[in-house]
Structure formats: structure tokens, C-alpha cells
């Protein structure tokens, strides 16, 4: 599984539509600015067979600094970007062979020990 960058998308659009990469770049930039502007204004952006971009409020919570676990700090509520994939996209992704996805990070901490079977409970 490779990472597709904006440069790759521009090249593919250029090939698919028979336009120059400069023209494709202009289209991609305008598209991204339009979506960013709409979401930044609080609007949802929906692509029927792809998904919906929107905002949600992450509630305030109490956090701790791992270096000072006895000190609590308030993390304020904030707006966060959310993407909700469409049913069609979820189904296409669910149908992919498992070897399509490359694990990029190993589990950390306690979950890693449980995942690796090293939690001491082998029975």
C-alpha cells in the first residue's frame, strides 16, 4: 500500500482527463480550497459514494502529563474535523484482502504485551 500524494493525484487527473498537469493542479487546488472553506465555515461537505467531511466538538477532559502523573490539567473543548465514510466506501474497503493494508505502527504499552501474549496469563 503506497501513499498517494497531491502530486500523484494531479498526475492521474492529468492523464485521465487529457489536460496538462498545471491545469490539473489548478483544479485540485480550487477543489481543496472550496472544501476547506466550507468545512472551516461549519458546513458539511458530502460526496455521496465517498463520505462526509464535517466538524464535531471534542468535549473538554482532564489530562495528565506522563512525566508528572499526579498533576492534572484541563484540556478544553475544541472543534475537530471528522470524516464519515459512505456505506459504499465502507463496503469497498471491507472487501479488500487483508494483505492490502500494511501495519505502520506496533501497539504500545500494556496493549502491546496483551497483543503479543506476554501478559503473564497463558492459561
Listed by start position, the domains of the chain span 1-43, 48-117
Per CATH, which fold does 48-117 belong to?
Answer: HU Protein; Chain A (4.10.520)
Which tops the pLDDT comparison, 105 or 111?
Answer: 105
Per-residue model confidence as pLDDT tens digits over 64-87: 988 988 889 999 999 999 999 999
Distance CA 48, CA 71 (A): 46
Distance CA 114, CA 83 (A): 30
The pLDDT-based confidence of 90 (bands split at 50, 70, 90) is very high
What pLDDT was estimated at residue 123?
44
Per-residue model confidence as pLDDT tens digits over 28-64: 999 999 999 999 999 999 999 999 999 999 999 999 9
CA distances from 45 to 3, 25, 51 (A): 23, 21, 8
Per-residue model confidence as pLDDT tens digits over 2-31: 899 999 999 999 999 999 999 999 999 999
What pLDDT was estimated at residue 100?
84
What pLDDT was estimated at residue 45?
97
Phi and psi dihedrals of 73, rounded to 5? -135, 145
Residue found by looking up cell 482527463 in the block: 17
What pLDDT was estimated at residue 12?
97
**Quick one: which H or E segment has residue 10?**
helix 6-17
Amino acid at each position: 500500500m503506497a501513499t498517494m500524494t497531491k502530486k500523484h493525484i494531479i498526475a492521474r487527473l492529468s492523464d485521465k482527463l487529457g489536460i496538462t498537469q498545471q491545469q490539473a493542479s489548478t483544479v485540485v487546488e480550487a477543489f481543496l480550497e472550496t472544501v476547506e472553506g466550507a468545512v472551516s465555515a461549519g458546513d458539511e461537505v458530502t460526496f455521496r459514494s465517498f463520505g462526509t467531511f464535517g466538524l464535531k466538538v471534542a468535549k473538554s477532559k482532564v489530562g495528565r502529563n506522563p512525566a508528572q502523573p499526579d498533576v492534572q490539567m484541563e484540556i478544553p473543548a475544541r472543534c475537530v474535523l471528522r470524516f464519515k465514510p459512505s456505506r459504499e466506501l465502507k463496503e469497498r474497503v471491507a472487501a479488500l484482502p487483508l494483505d492490502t493494508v500494511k501495519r505502520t505502527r506496533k501497539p504500545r504499552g500494556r496493549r502491546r504485551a496483551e497483543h503479543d501474549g506476554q501478559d503473564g496469563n497463558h492459561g
